[in-house]
Amino acid sequence: HHHPTKKTKSTPLPPQEEPNVFGFATVINLTTHHSTPCIQSLKSLCLSKCPPQHKPEMETVLSGKTKRPAGFFFQERMVNVPMEITEVMHQQLVLDMDWAVENAEGGEEERKSLDFGAFVRLAPCSGSGGGGSGVIYKYFEDEVFATNAEFVYAFEAPKMFEGEEEEGMCSVIVMTKTGHRAAMKDMAKMIHGK
């Protein structure tokens, strides 16, 4: 069981492998980072755009007071990466999260504090233009996450740069841990056909 060598979470790559970064996926713990300004502004953005019927649930998820932590789930990657590589990136995130829980040194308390119960994914997307709630996701896997979500809502993303020709949208995808794992299975089916 014990990996004495696996103390650190990230293994530095040998320098010649540097250019192979296709993207990253990471989860930021809302409980431990609740006072960080950027997390606070993301929280208020999510809440201000949240439809009334989901508001109570969203407030709980973002409260930082849930038994298991919730996390903002970020990813950024090249869009034209092979699906398999995208899947590996997401699998790696799951492995890292599981590893952290299994190797928590502070006993049960710390284990709970690392075992994410919910994920809030802010996904870049665009409106389908046809009215209705249809959005087109920038990353195919967000579609899979959305299908496995507790609820999803989209809003027009604030324009980041002057002269951006298209109004980007942001979709807020709220998943439980179970939903996230189910999405991983769906992603595998989609890519490997089984």
Identify the pLDDT of residue 167. Answer: 65
Is residue 81's pLDDT more than 80?
yes
Alpha helices per DSSP H over the chain: 37-49, 55-62, 83-102, 107-114, 140-147, 177-192
Identify the pLDDT of residue 4. Answer: 43
Instruction: Pick the more confident residue, 7 or 80.
Output: 80
Is residue 145's pLDDT more than 50?
yes
Identify the pLDDT of residue 67. Answer: 85
Report, as an integer, the average pLDDT of 128-147: 83
The structure tokens listed for 142 are 């967000």
Q: What is the CA radius of gyration of the chain?
A: 18
CA distance 153 to 93: 24
Specify the pairing of strand 135-137 against strand 118-127: antiparallel
If you average pLDDT over every residue of the chain, what do you get?
A: 85
Identify the pLDDT of residue 8. Answer: 40
Contact of 177 with 68, CB cutoff 8 Å: yes
Is residue 5's pLDDT more than 50?
no
CA distance 65 to 104: 20
